[in-house]
A and B are shown apart, each in its own frame.
Chain A
């Protein structure tokens, strides 16, 4: 049931936890393509994918969201990432299938990292909404 004020989110798994991105930002869930790498220094970027003639950076957010022990990533969630300098598609490796859900945001507790923009209460589960652009702007954990 969709209540007033509910918005759609794509829930994606990283290991045992699920996180959310606003559905309007997500363009597709892609099978693993060949990740391509070249020398660079930007933290969290694992490389790029070529999707329909476009080059899409791959941002491995699992390093920050659940730490280094994340299980192998199975799919790429491709989302539109907006920043001050514009917007571009970004691929986020996820560890399982994603789900579309509608839910209302619940207030942040104030203890969340700055890259968490909201919380969703889905059954007994609290799912953190990820602000991808803020996450990408941070340095990788040591």
Chain B
């Protein structure tokens, strides 16, 4: 068998980036460290129920009031369509009113290469991930932090909360 000579795929670009490694449902993921404002315990979370919105965005399970801001907290296991897991930490994201429930956080580390998600992956995962990192031979998806709650979902949530509370600051 001859090796393919016309290999058009270029090596992935070099990119140094600090990421936080976290676990959900037995899988490890990475998120840009710059996208995370705070990692905290589950203390202070309130169950989220808001009429039809709760059914519409089922992965949104809690809210958190923090410094006058309402954070909408998404269950990462539900986001990634995994079986229920045992969350113990909340990642509070920066610049968006979103929190993410994860099982645990592992460490902060630097990745040097972000591989594109292979084109063979064609479903929801294309929105979930910015790419893949290889850490000590293990492949780890680097999540797209803006996908936990997209702009349209946040608008729906803002409008819903405003209806209920009158005014909400997010």
Contacts and interface: CB of A to CB of B under 8 A. Distances in A.
B81 interface: yes
Contacts of B123: 40-42
B139 A38 contact: yes
Interface residues of B, number: 30
A57 B138 contact: no
A83 B119 contact: yes
Contact of B124 (A41, A50, A59): A41
Q: How many of chain A's residues touch chain B, expressed as a range?
A: 35 or more
B121 A40 contact: yes
Contact of B139 (A48, A80, A100): A48
Interface of A: 10, 23-24, 26-29, 34, 36-42, 45, 48, 50, 53-57, 59, 80-81, 83, 85-90, 98, 100, 136-137
8 contacts: A37-B27, A39-B141, A40-B123, A54-B11, A56-B118, A80-B4, A86-B119, A137-B122
Interface of B: 1-4, 8-9, 11, 25, 27, 29, 80-82, 115, 118-125, 128, 132, 134, 137-141
A-B pairs, top 4 by smallest CB distance, nearest first, are A41-B123, A57-B120, A40-B125, A39-B80
